[in-house]
Chain A
Amino acid sequence: GAGVSQSPRYKVAKRGQDVALRCDPISGHVSLFWYQQALGQGPEFLTYFQNEAQLDKSGLPSDRFFAERPEGSVSTLKIQRTQQEDSAVYLCASSFAGGAFFGQGTRLTVV
């Protein structure tokens, strides 16, 4: 497709469950970002990839969060042993140069 695609759109997880969120960036985009957006807040940076290299993971809130982009295209954000405070929208963005193009996000609800 022409835009950034994320799946699933919605995910409900029981506390303690592991989840995996997928991002398909725009083809050819070198840069890929993951952001977390709590209700009523702006997106907050989690991690950044340049091709397959994870160059910045300073925003990941704990070691339960892990991201990968093994072939420099599709990326997966994995959250282990989910907790209620992980409930948020997880946004993926890709860019070639300049401004970022965002996907619609995955809304994660931990119950």
Chain B
Amino acid sequence: GQNIDQPTEMTATEGAIVQINCTYQTSGFNGLFWYQQHAGEAPTFLSYNVLDGLEEKGRFSSFLSRSKGYSYLLLKELQMKDSASYLCAVPSEGGYNKLIFGAGTRLAVHP
């Protein structure tokens, strides 16, 4: 089966850096997604990692280690608008990108 774990809640200060971790167990690996979801809104795509290493995209970066079943999302220069839930997800077996999501990490950014 597949299982995804991520912290339930995190808090951080505006301007700081925060790292949101995700560990996963999957029988076959087809990449890992990060989504951002503001309250009452649609999840929006942030990143997709399929190879080991760090991928940087502006203030957001995502890291993957396939051997450790581990990923993190790094948010720099935090802004109040970054307060949201961050969802880690992996595609299931089947070849059509049915996503298995973690419960999400609710990030609160304080002034």
Which residues of chain B from 57 to 111 have a CB within 8 Å of any chain A CB? Answer: 87, 89, 92, 94, 96-104, 106
A contact residues, total (Cβ < 8 Å): 26
Asked if A95 is at the interface (CB within 8 A of a chain B CB), the reply is: yes
Known: A42-B103, A43-B101. A50 touches B96 (CB 8 A): yes
A contact residues around B24 at 8 Å (CB): none
Interface stretch of the complex, out of A14-22, A64-72, A79-87, A96-104:
A96-104
B contact residues around A95 at 8 Å (CB): 97
- Tell me if A99 and B33 are in contact (CB < 8 A): yes
- Tell me if B98 and A56 are in contact (CB < 8 A): yes
- Tell me if A40 and B103 are in contact (CB < 8 A): yes
A contact residues around B40 at 8 Å (CB): 104, 107
B contact residues around A102 at 8 Å (CB): 35, 42-44
- Tell me if A101 and B101 are in contact (CB < 8 A): no
- Tell me if A99 and B48 are in contact (CB < 8 A): yes
From A40, A50, A99, A104, name the one whose CB has the most chain B CB atoms within 10 angstroms: A99
**Chain A residue with Cβ nearest B47:** A99
CA distance A46 to B100 in the complex (A): 11
CA distance A31 to B99 in the complex (A): 13
A contact residues around B48 at 8 Å (CB): 98-99
0/1 interface trace, chain B 32-54, chain A, CB 8 Å (1 if under) = 01010000111111001000000
Partner of A45, one of B33, B35, B98: B98
B contact residues around A33 at 8 Å (CB): 98-99
CA distance A42 to B3 in the complex (A): 12
0/1 interface trace, chain A 49-78, chain B, CB 8 Å (1 if under) = 010000110000000000000000000000
Q: List 25 A-B contacts (CB under 8 A).
A: A4-B42, A31-B97, A35-B99, A40-B103, A40-B104, A42-B89, A42-B103, A42-B104, A43-B99, A43-B101, A44-B101, A45-B92, A48-B98, A50-B96, A98-B48, A98-B97, A99-B33, A99-B45, A99-B48, A99-B97, A100-B45, A101-B45, A102-B35, A103-B42, A107-B40
